[in-house]
Amino acid sequence: MEKSAVQLVEYWDLVPAVVGGVIGALAGGIPAWLLAKRQSDETLRRDREQRVENQKALAFSVVVKLLHIINSTVSLSNHVKSCLALRNDPARAHMEPWQVLVPMIGHTDDEGSIRFTAEEMAVFAGANEYDFMQDMMLLAVRHSSSLATFKEYCVMRNEFRAIGPKPQDFDGQIGGGWLTQEEADSYKPYTIPMNNVVVGLDAGLDEDVRLARTVAERFGPVTAKHFNVAKFADLTFPSDDELAAMRQPPNPA
């Protein structure tokens, strides 16, 4: 009995030491844990801010590319429409599309190769704007295709000019002449493909302009919502009246 009492006393002597050790560990560990958590939260906050800034930089890169694509699309469409509008004049209604659509300078090789990177499109995928993302990618592809088509048409027309009939008289800047039916038929292997290209290009540009307008109008609201700001970057697009004014036939005089 005495031995048990001695063991019990020794046991209780250990309790304060153990409890003190636990309390001491907690006293030192809790502040360290709080400090580590605070540092972790701060790191996460900085990472989130950096991620948002990176996404904004990528979105601004998309803005620059869209400005090039939309401006080029509108410019090419206006040129084609204004040239074809010459045929609205009864005196020129007999002219075929290839006869009124003239080459245009000012396009660079890089202009038709504008593409969006996966990182740029990931910004809009992260915003669950998959349809909008696809519209932008489609617009870039259509713009490149339309520009390549027009450049090919310019090559075809210049090659035909080298072998075709030479104008015998001029009405302002429009040259004319007379051909027999046999002579006219001999040039059809050149003129028919050119006409087909012009008709297809004109129709395709209508869709390009429609898609460009949709992308321009949606870009501002989509990015403002994603970045939770009142305004991020708005893209403007000409109204129908402004487009009509820019598509007036050129003065042939």
Q: Say what the pLDDT of residue 73 is.
A: 95
The confidence score (pLDDT) of residue 181 equals 77
Query: Distance (Å, rounded) from C-alpha 101 to C-alpha 86?
Result: 9
Mean pLDDT value of segment 173-192: 75
Please report the pLDDT score of residue 193 as a whole number.
94
Q: For residue 94, name the pLDDT band (cuts at 50, 70, 90).
A: confident
Q: For the residues 171-180, what does the mean pLDDT come to?
A: 60
Using pLDDT thresholds of 50, 70 and 90, give the confidence band for residue 5: very low
Which tens digit of pLDDT belongs to each residue from 48-81? Answer: 778 889 999 999 999 999 999 999 999 999 999 9
The pLDDT assigned to 227 comes to 93
- Given a cut of 90, whether residue 150 has pLDDT beyond it is yes
CA distance 75 to 23: 77
- pLDDT of 183 reads 76
Show me where the domains of the chain are located: 56-246
**pLDDT bracket for residue 6 (50, 70, 90):** very low
